[in-house]
């Protein structure tokens, strides 16, 4: 009887100790490989998204200024859409409402050629550009100096 009693105490002890042991990881560490978690950089919006408005052409969607690892980007939403055209560029303009025709060189800075006419896309803002000097983002046809669409920026 004493033997059964000791066996029962041993089983309870093992079960109790096993239940209180904390599992730190279920991964197997390979020699030379660290199990330290890697932080994924997160893009943080610098302002409320701007809604695209029609210019010379129907343009929809939103644009946000985001910062990731100290770098600023213009990020177009999945819902972004405009018409196709020759020589399209993404620009920052000094006005909330850029002119549909006849943008003057002193009033904008070119960010990059437009990547595609719809969907999510991202453009690096040059480091030397002071974003607070600009009040809108526009899709602009350089060849015909026409604004396809624009989005006022708020809360920069």
Q: Phi and psi for 120 in degrees, rounded to 5? A: -65, 135
- The Cα–Cα gap between 84 and 55 comes to 13
Q: Please report whether residue 106 resides in a domain.
A: yes
Full residue range of the structural domain in which residue 61 is found: 44-152
pLDDT in tens, 6-39: 444 544 444 434 433 333 333 344 455 444 444 4
Is residue 72 situated within a structural domain?
Answer: yes
The average confidence (pLDDT) of the chain is: 80
130 found inside a domain: yes
In a domain, 49, yes or no: yes
How many structural domains does the chain have?
1
Is the pTM value of this prediction over 0.85? no
Give domain status of residue 55, yes or no: yes
Please classify residue 117 by burial: count the beta carbons closer than 10 Å to its beta carbon, then call 0-12 exposed, 13-18 middle and 19+ buried. Answer: middle
86 is a domain residue: yes
Domain-embedded: residue 26: no
Model pLDDT, residue 48: 78
Tens-digit pLDDT profile for residues 85-122: 999 999 999 999 999 999 999 999 999 999 999 999 99
The 10 Å CB-count burial string (b at 16+, else e) for 34-62 is: eeeeeeeeeeeebeebbbbbebbbebbbb
In a domain, 64, yes or no: yes
Residue matched to tokens 């993404």: 90
CA-closest candidate to residue 99, choices 133, 146, 154, 151: 146
Q: Which residue has the tokens 């620009």?
A: 91
């Amino acid at each position: 009887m004493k033997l059964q009693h000791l066996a029962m105490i041993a089983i309870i002890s093992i079960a109790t100790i096993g239940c209180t042991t904390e599992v730190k990881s279920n991964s197997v560490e390979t020699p030379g490989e660290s199990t330290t978690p890697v932080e994924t950089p997160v893009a943080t919006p610098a302002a409320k998204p701007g809604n695209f408005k029609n210019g010379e052409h129907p343009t929809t969607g939103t644009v946000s200024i985001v910062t990731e690892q100290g770098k600023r980007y213009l990020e177009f939403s999945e819902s972004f859409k405009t018409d196709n055209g020759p020589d399209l560029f993404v620009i920052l303009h000094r006005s909330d409402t850029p002119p549909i025709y006849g943008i003057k060189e002193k009033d904008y800075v070119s960010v990059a050629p437009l990547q595609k006419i719809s969907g999510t896309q991202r453009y690096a803002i040059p480091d030397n550009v002071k974003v607070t000097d600009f009040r809108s983002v526009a899709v602009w046809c350089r060849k015909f100096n026409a604004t396809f669409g624009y989005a006022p920026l708020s809360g920069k």
